[in-house]
Amino acid sequence: MKATAIILAGGKSARMHYKDKAWINYKGSPLITHVIKRLVPQVTRTLISRNNYDSRYETLPYPCIADLNTYKEGPLAGILACSYHVETPLTLVVPCDTPNLPLDLFKRLSLDLDNYDVSIPTCPAGEQPLMMLAKTPVLSEIDGNLKKGKRSVKDWLSKMNVQKVQFSSSSNFENINYPSQIR
C-alpha cells in the first residue's frame, strides 16, 4: 500500500537552546538527513512540516509545508497542514529528531491496520505517539481539535481507534532533545 511520509520539523526546540533540531549536526550530518535516509525507502512520497522559514529546507528535494495561518503551534498543526498535500491512502508521521527510526517502521505499523484508524509504535520506553501511521482521511479530524484549542497528539489519538505495535528496542525511538545527546 502507498504512503506519504510527513517529517515534523521546525518546532521550538527549547531544550536545544532554540536551535532548529532538523539542522543540528549528529554524527557528521544534520538530524533530518538521518531520518530521510531511513524513511524515504519506506514510502512513496515525503513532505516536511515546518512552522518557520529557514532557507536550508530549500536544499532538500522534498516539499516543505508551512503551518496554516490559523494554527501555528504544535505537531498537530503541522500534520493538518501537510495532510492537504497527501494523495495516498496512508500517512506515516515521524519527528525530525529520531535518527535511528526503524527501517521497517511502515511495514510493521501497516500490518492489520484495516481494523484501525491509526497505528503507533510502543517499545520498552513507552508509546511513541509522534510516530504514527494513519489512514489519511482521519487526519481531517485534527481540525476539530485545533479549533477547540486542543493541540495534544495524545488527546487526538484518544478519539481514534489506535493499534499499538510492539517494537523490542527503544534505541530506534530515541529523540535527540539535548545537546548532551549529540555524539
pLDDT band of 19, cuts 50, 70, 90: low
Domain that includes residue 85, residue range: 3-181
* Number of CB atoms found within 10 A of residue 69's CB: 7
Residue 95 is predicted with a pLDDT of 96
- Whether residue 110 contacts residue 154, with contact meaning beta carbons closer than 8 Å, is answered with no
Kindly give the residue spans of alpha helices, DSSP state H, lying in 111-167.
142-147, 153-157
Q: Give the CATH number of the domain where residue 83 resides.
A: 3.90.550.10
Query: Structural domain tally of the chain?
Result: 1
- Whether residue 122 contacts residue 165, with contact meaning beta carbons closer than 8 Å, is answered with yes
Radius of gyration of the chain (CA): 15
Residue 14 is predicted with a pLDDT of 54
pLDDT band of 181, cuts 50, 70, 90: low
Pairing of strands 3-8, 126-127: unpaired
**CA-wise closest residue to 134 among 95, 76, 105, 93:** 93
**More confident site: 139 or 69:** 139
Show the beta-strand stretches assigned E in the chain.
3-8, 25-26, 29-30, 45-50, 64-66, 90-95, 118-123, 126-127, 132-135, 162-166
Residue 12 is predicted with a pLDDT of 57
Residue 134 is predicted with a pLDDT of 98
- Give per-residue pLDDT as tens, 79-123: 999 999 999 999 999 999 999 999 999 999 999 999 999 999 999
Tell me the mean pLDDT in the region 43-54.
Answer: 90
Tell me the mean pLDDT in the region 13-22.
Answer: 62
Residue 121 is predicted with a pLDDT of 98
